[in-house]
Amino acid sequence: MCGRFTLTADLPTLQACFPGVAFPSAYAPRYNIAPGQPILMIEAKQPLAATFALWGFVPAWAKAAPQRHPTGPYINARTETAARKAAFRGAWRNRRCLIPADGFYEWQQEGQARLPWYFCLQERRPFAFAGLWEEWQEIRTCLILTVAANERLRPIHERMPLILFPEEYEEWLWPRPSESPERWLRPFPAERMCGYRVSPRVNRSDVEGEALIEPLQETQGGLFTSLA
């Protein structure tokens, strides 16, 4: 799954990675983006523009904003089943989006402790998660799709976000009528990613700053080895 992520790039870098997309002037880099907060999304319309939506998908037909699963709000959906589940199938067909990011956190369960890890691309460039969006009572909401984890993440968590290649952005936003959901059942290549332990300060969603993504060099047991 993906329950926290980052988008730390400055505006010129974002525009270089998403050419032709207009980004809002209110954009600011974030090191600890949490569910329920506004996040950037790029929907399938021309000209392309990034807008803000709440991270926590609520189906348009929901009578009230639910607080917990199975009725939402959903921060993630499984790519394997999103195309046929009632909550997501309309958005899968008609309301896809790109969610810009440059890294994400996952937590490793070790006894009673949950140890945070940070994962990003080797080149540290921004990328896009595959997302779905919906409008509920004039509130725009969205979620991040997930797939089975690659070899880099699997020791930490069994799921990971669906990270798109830049050449797939257009295909994701404007799918072919004959598209099969199986097309997207692939993790991002493990060899193009790195991961390492970070401070448990990220466990608090109200904490921000560059220090959150700095590698944790030591643990109580001695030197720590990253998944680079």
- Catalytic (active-site) positions: 2, 106
Interior angle at CA 49, CA 43 and CA 53, nearest 5: 55
Instruction: Enumerate the β-bridge partners of residue 148.
Output: 159
d(Cα 153, Cα 227) in Å, to the nearest integer? 9
| Exposure string over 45-77, b if 16+ CB within 10 A, otherwise e | eeebebbebbbbbbbeebeeeeeeeeebbbbbb
In angstroms, the CA 220 to CA 130 distance is: 37
